[in-house]
Structures are given as structure tokens and as C-alpha cells.
């Protein structure tokens, strides 16, 4: 994996997590649980899992819409 790819994946991860925390400040415990479920914990931690919300256009707005939809679906199964 090239450095550019790794940086882009880390940026996507950070953007998604910050967005969720800002959009749902009253539900931070649930947001953190959702983040842990996406990324995993301990030796299974993989921040690149946020890449599932990106598309070929690399649109941040679309990525955040997908993250919001996934969080809503997770909250209301």
C-alpha cells in the first residue's frame, strides 16, 4: 500500500468519526460503540474499514451520507 493510499484511508476514517461525533453529541456512547464495531478493537482494529463508505468519486458529502445512513440503520435495526 502506498503512502498516499494510507493517508487517504486515514483521512476518510478521521472524517467519518469526527462527523458522527459532531452530528450526534447527545449519543456519544452509542457513536463510540458504532465506531468500535466498524473498526474493531485490540488486535482486530482496522481503521481502513471506513473505506466501505467511499465511492470512486471520493466525494466526502456522499461518504458522510452513507455513514449517517449506516449509523441510522445500526440504531434502528
Long-range contacts made by residues 71-75, C-beta under 8 angstroms, separation at least 24? 71/20, 71/24, 71/31, 71/34, 74/34, 74/37, 75/30
Q: 0.85 cut: is pTM over it?
A: no
Structural domain boundaries, residue 68: 3-75
pLDDT at position 66, please? 94
The closest of 14, 41, 27, 40 to 72, measured between CA atoms, is: 27
Look up residue 39 and give its three cell numbers.
Answer: 473498526
pLDDT at position 4, please? 59
What is the per-residue pLDDT across 18-77, written as a single tens digit (0 to 9) for each? 999 999 999 999 999 999 999 988 888 888 888 888 877 778 899 999 999 999 999 987
pLDDT at position 58, please? 78
Q: How many domains does the chain contain in total?
A: 1
Amino acid at each position: 500500500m502506498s503512502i498516499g493510499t494510507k493517508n487517504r484511508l486515514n483521512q476518510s476514517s478521521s472524517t467519518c468519526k469526527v462527523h458522527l461525533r459532531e452530528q450526534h453529541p447527545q449519543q456519544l456512547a452509542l457513536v463510540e460503540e458504532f465506531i468500535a464495531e466498524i473498526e474493531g478493537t485490540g488486535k482486530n482494529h482496522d481503521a481502513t474499514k471506513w473505506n466501505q463508505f467511499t465511492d470512486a468519486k471520493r466525494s466526502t458529502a456522499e461518504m458522510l451520507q452513507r455513514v449517517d445512513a449506516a449509523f441510522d440503520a445500526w440504531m434502528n435495526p
